[in-house]
Chains A and B, each alone.
Chain A
Amino acid sequence: MSKQNLITDNNFDNGDAFYAELTEAHRDINSQQSERLNARLVLLLANHIGAGTVLSEAIKIASDVTTEASPSIQKSAE
């Protein structure tokens, strides 16, 4: 397998702060607005990364069904 370019080890300087900021940005908006916010975020960050190989790897990993929560976990979370 060829070397992966996408960083999947921890690379945040402050992960907790980012996570809080992200969820805070979505707190008071409806899901349609959230969808639009997420789209803008993806576009902005994708441009910042720029490299096509890195972006492809990220899309592949994000599309991989095995990283999605299993139905039983989703149910218990409700």
Chain B
Amino acid sequence: MLKTYTNPVYDYVRSSDQSGEAITHHPVIIVGAGPCGLAAALDFAQQGVNTIVLDDNNTVSVGSRAICFAKRTLEIVDRYGCAAPMVAKGITWQKGKVFFKQDQIYDFDLLPQSGHKQPAFINLQQYYFEEYMVNRAAELPAIDLRWQHRVSHVDAQAEQTLITVETADGPYQMSCDYLLVADGANSKIRDLLGLESKGQVFQDRFLIADVVMKPDFPTERWFWFDPPFHPNQSVLLHAQADDVWRIDFQLGWDADPEEEKKEENIRPRIEAMLGKEVEFELEWASVYTFQCRKMDNYIKNRVIFMGDAAHQVSPFGARGANGGLQSVENLAWKITRILRKDAPQALLETYNTERQHGAEENILNSTRATDFITPKNAISRVFRDETLRLAEHYAFARSLVNSGRLSLPCDYQSSAIISADNFSAGIKPGYVCQDAPIAINGKADWLLSQLGNRFVLLINSDDSPPELLQNLNEIATDLDILELTTSKIGDNTLHDCQGLVAERYQLEPGQSYLIRPDQYVAARFQQTTVGDVSTALHKALGFELNEGK
């Protein structure tokens, strides 16, 4: 049915590990070349760790699937070097309308803060998102991406993992220090290991219809509650690249998925919605139910689950792929440092704790949206409908209208490796850094492009004695000192050309931020000293955790 996109076909290639002699060993093997598996390979490549990615298929996503990518995700993939083609191809949007029955009740504009490299959101079909990551991976010798290599057996030993891989040339075995599993919501490897993802199945069905059309309405997010053309249910309309529009019809639990998927049944629904005069072609359709669930522990010995295999949410609020990538970037730097022996094994567990927290937040938000869209009983329906009626005239009620809270990165404030403090200004430890325009070596650039992949101490070095900067530099090879100045402009110092770093970070002379390789604030210092920075770095690497001592 796809007319605007042809899936690339990636050939099976025999690898040198298939010689049939000794079992070869690798530091990191990743299962699944979806958004999370590919992101993991790209993240490790940025940090100098070689990976093998195994995928049982020979192409990217079939069908558009995840379409909404949030700013944080774009910042992450920008660090990998592949945000530009995504933003160029995707639809950047910030406006939307909400309808109830026959009326538009309000419109909104996300009014994203200016002075950020990445837009608030783009809509882009998942196959493009994956294809651009595959293209980027091909440029990086650290990534060995193997299509049509299917993992059939996993032996999760205490300190390494042995896997069997099936190919057209027969099976072969490999061992690895870490096996990262991103083989999707119905993870076969999770089943192989007898592990479970538990939660709630929602008793509802949704029809996704991607249609190709050139209508005269703007590229906004339109959401209908109980519209006349689809009574008692909700409908979402959202633009994607190539003049493809995503239409999402809530169907109810009693709908027959096979019947609903048929073009002759989809067409009348769309005609009722858009009017008979609008010309469109049906691009792709799918009927889905959804679940909010997660594993109690993402780690089994040295096998680590990521993405939908680890935690799954309903699509409202775009927290599946976006949440998945936040898990990936949380994990990659930790394993890198454990492999380098710069961090204790105990650091790995903080992936589980920090991202359990992330998944809980995503599941909570997505469950609330689902409950608003599909009220669970008569009185919930009354509250929902009255909220919508009030929203037409009163701003407060708009804040309660929930058709999906848009994905924001969660914070790790209470994490054991974050040095919390009591200052209210700036960006608190446990929160992700905000972007801002800067100049470096006389050229305009972005703050986030200077951060990540290693620890950074961002310091306002106005009035800082040179000895202090010298001594800070010697704390660790994994720690770069990044000077932000207003007065002197030397090599590799950041110039806060629009004053937005000062505004967002409240960074006074002598103050500094310790920033993790995933661009989260680990600690900050009112008065920067070598001792305090060393202690916070030690803590961020997990040396103060129980088994880390």
Contacts and interface: CB of A to CB of B under 8 A. Distances in A.
A43 B397 contact: yes
Contacts of B390: 40, 43-44
Contacts of A47: 396-397
A40 B386 contact: yes
Interface in A34-75: 35-36, 39-40, 42-44, 47
Contacts of A43: 383, 386-387, 390, 397, 400
B376 to A, nearest CB: 15
B382 interface: yes
A3 to B, nearest CB: 23
A30 to B, nearest CB: 13
B379 A40 contact: no
Interface residues of A, number: 8
A43 B384 CA distance: 10
Contacts, number: 24
B227 to A, nearest CB: 20
A66 B141 CA distance: 69
Given A40-B390, A43-B390, A35 B400 contact: no
Nearest to B379: A35
Interface of B: 379, 382-383, 385-387, 389-390, 394, 396-397, 400
Main secondary structure of the interface of B (DSSP, over half): helix
Contacts of B400: 43
A26 to B, nearest CB: 15
A36 B396 contact: no
Contacts of B394: 44
Nearest to B395: A47
Nearest to B387: A43
A65 B309 CA distance: 42
A35 B390 CA distance: 15
A47 B385 CA distance: 17
A47 B396 CA distance: 7
B371 to A, nearest CB: 16
A51 B379 CA distance: 23
22 contacts: A35-B379, A35-B382, A36-B382, A36-B385, A36-B386, A39-B379, A39-B382, A39-B383, A39-B386, A40-B386, A40-B389, A43-B383, A43-B386, A43-B387, A43-B390, A43-B397, A43-B400, A44-B390, A44-B394, A44-B396, A47-B396, A47-B397
A4 to B, nearest CB: 25
B388 to A, nearest CB: 11
Contacts of B385: 36
Contacts of A40: 386, 389-390
Contacts of B396: 44, 47
A35 B387 CA distance: 13
Nearest to B400: A43
A67 B400 CA distance: 29
Nearest to B399: A47
Contacts of A39: 379, 382-383, 386
Interface in A9-53: 35-36, 39-40, 42-44, 47
Nearest to A38: B382
B390 to A, nearest CB: 6
B28 to A, nearest CB: 43
Contacts of B397: 43, 47
Q: Across chains A and B, which 10 residue pairs bring their CB atoms closest together, nearest first?
A: A47-B396, A39-B386, A40-B386, A39-B382, A39-B383, A35-B382, A36-B386, A36-B382, A43-B390, A43-B387
Given A35-B382, A44-B394, 20 more contacts: A35-B379, A36-B382, A36-B385, A36-B386, A39-B379, A39-B382, A39-B383, A39-B386, A40-B386, A40-B389, A40-B390, A43-B383, A43-B386, A43-B387, A43-B397, A43-B400, A44-B390, A44-B396, A47-B396, A47-B397
